[in-house]
Amino acid sequence: MSLFIVNTTSSPLRAEPAHEAEQISRLLLGESFRVHERSEDQRWALGLGPDGYQGWLRAWHLTEVDVWPAAQLCVTQRWSHAYERPDSRSQILLDLSFATRLRPGGSEVDGFIPWQLPGGAEVWTPVQDLEPLGGDMETLLTRGLRLLAIPYEWGGRSSAGLDCSGFVQLLFSTLGQSLPRDAWQQAEHGQALSLSDPRLWQRGDLLFFGAERIDHVGLWMGEDRLLHASGRVQVEGLAPRGKLIGSHRPALAALRRLNLGQE
């Protein structure tokens, strides 16, 4: 399969090669996509994103590369920008979603860092919007709270809209941690913990919900609070026996703790 890189702010991954098809995920600028088939009209590419999720991307949202250097920094604000020059009054070439990764291509100038877009153009982003990949659970929760009120979007995985597992996946990616795309897949990672004793839970633990199968995930904030994407990114109270206050969602189905530093 040929290696391509997403060359726009974000691109919807669809179940079929059509704009009206279901959005199943979304890939961010700079993320890899391995193409193994194209639509008959060559306008869509079928392939795998970095998390192994398969779907169709618009072909012109992709730039073919031989290799793509590993990123060192990521956007940790809700939005940032790629400017033409190290000056906020210069032209904005692209918006940058939370969790967009980039690799610096030179020294800081006037509070901006240079880097290259997939097509090779040099752009500049404010240093204040960026942080090195990594951190602990408190870092993760601090970053997550910056996304409060972003609307829920089925298949959403950017600052424009998030679903529950996309929210969790993006947050952990800013720590340099890889998680699968869906909640039921994420529930198979990390250390399983008892659901019966919240006194043993720690901030940043993943709480999973579902009836016949797991279909929702959020982050434990302590003090009976859950940070999750449901309607919007919000902090919601957790009632006794694992029910979300004011919600008809099934009670807790699983609890997992991820060991940072191990993908």
- Indicate which residues carry an active-site annotation: 164, 216, 228
Are 204 and 191 in contact, with CB atoms under 8 Å apart? no
- Given 3-state DSSP classes, what are the helix, strand and coil percentages for the chain, each rounded to the nearest 5? 15, 40, 45
27: its two tokens: 């890939």
Give how far the C-alpha of residue 156 lies from the chain's centroid of Cα atoms, to the nearest Å: 9
143: its two tokens: 């970053």
164-173 and 137-145 helices, crossing angle to 10°: 130
Alpha-carbon distance of 163 to 151, in angstroms, equals 9
Question: Which string of DSSP letters, residue by residue, matches 208-238?
Answer: EEESSSEEEEEEEEETTEEEEEESEEEEEEB
User: Which three-class secondary structure state does DSSP give residue 183?
Assistant: helix
